[in-house]
Structure formats: structure tokens, C-alpha cells
Amino acid sequence: MIRLHDNRLALLRKYLVEGQVNPALMEELLDHLACEAEERLWDGEAFEQVIDLLKEEASPEVLQNLNADLKALLEEEKTLTDMVFEGRNKQYGAYDLRKGYGKTIQRSLVLGVTCFLLVILLPDLYARLTPLLEDDAIGFEMELHNIDIRPLPLEHDNSQQQQPHDNTVEPNVITDEPNRPALGTAKPILGPPLVEKETELALLPESYQGWVEANEWEVKPSFAGGMTSLMTYIKSEINYPVMALKYAVEGRVFVGFTVGADGNVSQVELIKGIGYGCDQEALRVVTNMPNWLPGRAAGQPSAYRYVLPVSFEMVR
């Protein structure tokens, strides 16, 4: 197909402009007339003859009818706002406000629904994200004492003749036998390793009568992570007994235990309790404690004795 040159297209455009064609129809009519002209030129007709035929088809009357049809179509698409402001000053501002009234209503509706949903859902969301506080919480007061139990003096019957014996005692250090603790010291210990009246000593836990500091330990046993980890463990594991809550029982429970040469916690016993289930709960938590980091005395792993006071207190 023969393409029209720019000068021939300009000639067709000039004809349409002279016929006062609506600018909205200009490009579409020009494209239609150009295609018609190219087909006729392809058939061998002369360009001047083609132009005359196109002018007859697109006569001024036909162009005016096209303009009238376009105007009628545009009038049918007028909105209520266009009809209200027809013949009035549309540059004042009221026309723009009325024109965007629909979009404003839509935005306002979406914003209002969003705010309403937030007001309804925020309390539930806050309740889900914020943990509820229990009425009765558990407070812990822990005091970890590194102690050595000094045996009470043994009573002897003066009427019976004492047999001579050797007072030299080997240091009570345990290496491979965790069930025989050295009780936190490598010093020679006379008599039995545990005091028979240890419970009575616990009645005064602040003074610890008969208990002295161990001072010959190279490394003392310790809970993995230190005191902070120990407090965290007890706080997470212990539960306030129901019976103690019912009768508002508070107090301190003293639990004794031995950290063996391998770090294992054993020989857990109640030194002083308050009853109502608190003693059993403290014993359970201490019994289930994970292994400690073992200590060393006289160059060898050794057992060590501890007393752990646990306070049961209801926070009001």
C-alpha cells in the first residue's frame, strides 16, 4: 500500500480545519481519510482525483453533522453538577467542590469505618498483647550461704576409761565419691560430718550458730550463670501452694543441699519450714535443680554444703 507523504497529509488536515471539525474528531477523521486515500492510490488512481472523491464523501454538511452528533453525545454525559453550573462561573471554587463531592464522601466513609473498627478492636488487641496480672504473686528472697558445719562437742562418760587413740585425721576431701561430701571444707573434721541438732541451728538463720566460713576452697561450687540465673530458675519453677494461698501463709523455708564433686545436687533436706505445702514445694524445686559447676579443694573436686532460704510472700 502506498503511504501518504507528509505534505499530502497536511493537505487533508487543512481541509478538515476549514470544515470546522471538532478537535475531538480531528485525528480519527484524518486517519480514516488517509486510509481511504492510500487504498485508492494503490488501485492506480491519481492523487488529485482521490482528493476530489474524499471531499465529496466528507462534504461540509457531513462534517457539521458529525460535530452535532458529538455535541449531543457529550450533553448526554453531563452530570447533575454540570447542569447546575451551566452558564455560571465555574472558576469561583464551588464547581470544583461539587465536582469532587463523590470522592470526598468515599474517603470520609472509609476513614470513619476504619476509626470505628479500631475503637472496637483495640481493647481486645491490647488484652491479647498484655499478660494478665495475677492477684497473688510470689516474691522471693534468696540468701545463699557458703557454710561449713562444725560438729558439736561430743559428751563423754567420765566413769568409763577412754582408750588412747590417734588424733590425726586426714583431710575430708572427696574426689570420686559424691555421696560422701566434705561439707564445704578441706580441713580435718572431728566427729560426725553432720550436726545432729542442725534443725535447731536453723531457728536462727541470721547468726548460723556453729557454722563458719570455708576459707580453703580454690573454686567453690556455683550455679551456671551465677546468682541471677539461680533466682530466675527458682522464680520460674516454684508455685505458691493452694493451701498457703487459702490461709494467707507467708514465711521463709530453709532448704539444705549438697553439691557433689560432679556438680550433682543431692541430700536435699528441710532445715526449717512453714507448712501448708510451702516446704514440699521448696524441696521439689531444689531437688530438680540442674547440676552446678563443681568446686575444688586441695586440688581435687569436692562436695559442698549449702543452705538456701526461700521466702513465700503474697504481693498485694
For the segment 267-294, the average pLDDT, to the nearest whole number, is 93
Number of other residues whose CB lies within 10 A of the CB of residue 281: 20
Q: Say if residues 139 and 234 touch (Cβ distance below 8 Å).
A: no
Per domain, the residue ranges of the chain are 6-77, 92-132, 138-153+172-315
For the segment 279-292, the average pLDDT, to the nearest whole number, is 93
C-alpha cell at 232: 530466675
Res 216: pLDDT = 65
Q: Say if residues 99 and 84 touch (Cβ distance below 8 Å).
A: no
Q: Which helix (H) or strand (E) holds 50?
A: helix 47-57
Res 80: pLDDT = 67
Instruction: Give the relative orientation of helices 23-42 and 47-57 as an angle to the nearest 10 degrees.
Output: 140
- Give the separation between CA 146 and CA 308, rounded to whole angstroms: 10
Determine the topology of domain 138-153+172-315 in CATH: TolA/TonB C-terminal domain (3.30.2420)
For the segment 256-271, the average pLDDT, to the nearest whole number, is 92
Residue 62: band (very low, low, confident or very high) from pLDDT cuts 50, 70, 90 = confident
